[in-house]
Structure 1
């Protein structure tokens, strides 16, 4: 689930209040939802939008010179990374954005076609669409695993601790249930299955809408409109679907 469903989820800083709305997909397990907090505030919005915006503007100005907009986009992404390094803040999101930009730039530069700047994103959206549809068809809606894992505190640290426990052959005490148990327990609850299926359909709709709008523009080579809709269907749509998902799953249905 990315655009910022494609980018890494920003980490909460140490000075963030414990009861503040979480960022990224972590917001799905929160009691409150803040769209601004979910996207990482103004900075998160700038990091998600700026490189693509620079590319579109530079392309319109300098057409048919492709190299200038490509270089400008990379420079914008690098500046965002350097700014985080200088301020000693987590660089995960900015680096993820830089990687995505680098792939698009390389593809466009090698092919000589500006529209290929967006080809990687289209393929990634198609991949997410297929995977999410597969989880619904298999009656294992992906959102259920994400939300229940977050609610169970199944963080990367917890996964590592479980792996170390298993490697050491340490037996779990009866009063210490495995955090992995929550990942599948919800599938025995028909109400939760329906809830998570609906929530997963929301993300299927997001990726389907992006593909339906941007794919014809890609094949038409209409860079100005392709870039515009890439931005409009990026962070704003991602934040909206994240909120709708939170709204659907915030109440835990009774059996």
Structure 2
């Protein structure tokens, strides 16, 4: 898979994961009806799963994405708190940010591991000091940016501001994630001076 194709795939993934959040946030903001908002979010998550399946992409992201949305909806339905719809993703992202320094010390930058899986190239980058250093640098940048986003979402969660969490995710996080992916790619390419990734 080429670098450009990988960037397009990352962008499509961001759009697909944003769809259930958009539906949930808009419906909850306008109606304050949690069951209706959760139903809309689940329908959109199911639509995304079908879209991924129909376009012959891996079944795992389709099932995983819907499963995560269903789990989030179940937690929110059981607690009766709209902010709990965002809790599973917040916990997962917070855990990844917290574990990243350990992975960097083990010379396993999560960005490199993910790139190896997505491109099917495995862990060949571990034998190349230039690429390992490049992945480590871009991963530190990602960790700092993602950590700031997670901290803000945690603050909104603790303040019980569900609509603000959804709006922040859609209006700030999605564009920043697109920018972060593009900057990480550009930084990686510059640090490796055009080597194959």
Q: State how far apart, in whole Å, the 2-side matches of 1:144 and 1:52 are.
A: 28
5+ residue gaps in structure 2? none
- What runs of 5+ residues in structure 1 fail to find an aligned partner? 1-17, 28-35, 155-179
The within-5 A match list for 1:61-100 is: 61-63=30-32, 65-83=33-51, 87=54, 89-90=56-57, 92=59, 93-100=61-68
Q: Which of 237, 242, 249 is matched with 2:181 structurally?
A: 242
> After superposition, where does 1:105-254 map in structure 2 within 5 Å?
105-146=73-114, 153-154=121-122, 182-186=124-128, 189=129, 191-251=130-190, 252=192
Q: Is the CA contact (8 Å cut-off) linking 1:21 and 1:38 kept in structure 2?
A: no
Secondary structure in structure 1 of the residue aligned to 2:4 = coil
* Cα pair 1:115 1:221 within 8 Å, conserved: yes
Whole-Å separation in 2 of the counterparts to 1:118 and 1:79: 19
Cα distance in 1 for residues equivalent to 2:120 and 2:91: 32
Q: Distance in 2 between matches of 1:236 and 1:58?
A: 22
Q: In the TM superposition, what is the alpha-carbon distance from 1:210 to its structure 2 partner?
A: 1.6
TM-score, normalised to structure 2, is 0.80
Structure with greater helix share of residues: 2
Q: Which secondary structure state, in structure 2, belongs to the residue aligned with residue 22 of structure 1?
A: helix
Measure the CA separation in 2 of the matches of 1:53 and 1:232.
10
Q: CA 1:95–1:234 in structure 2 vs 1: closer, same or farther (change >3 Å)?
A: farther
Number of matched pairs? 192
CA radius of gyration, larger in: 1
Secondary structure (helix, strand or coil) at the match of 1:196 reads: helix
Q: Once superposed, what is the RMSD of the aligned Cα atoms?
A: 3.0
Deviating above 4 A after TM superposition, structure 1's stretches of 4 or more consecutive aligned residues are: 144-152
Write the distance in 2 (CA, Å) between the matches of 1:148 and 1:71. Answer: 36
Q: Following the alignment from structure 1 to structure 2, what is the Cα–Cα distance between the partners of residues 152 and 69?
A: 38
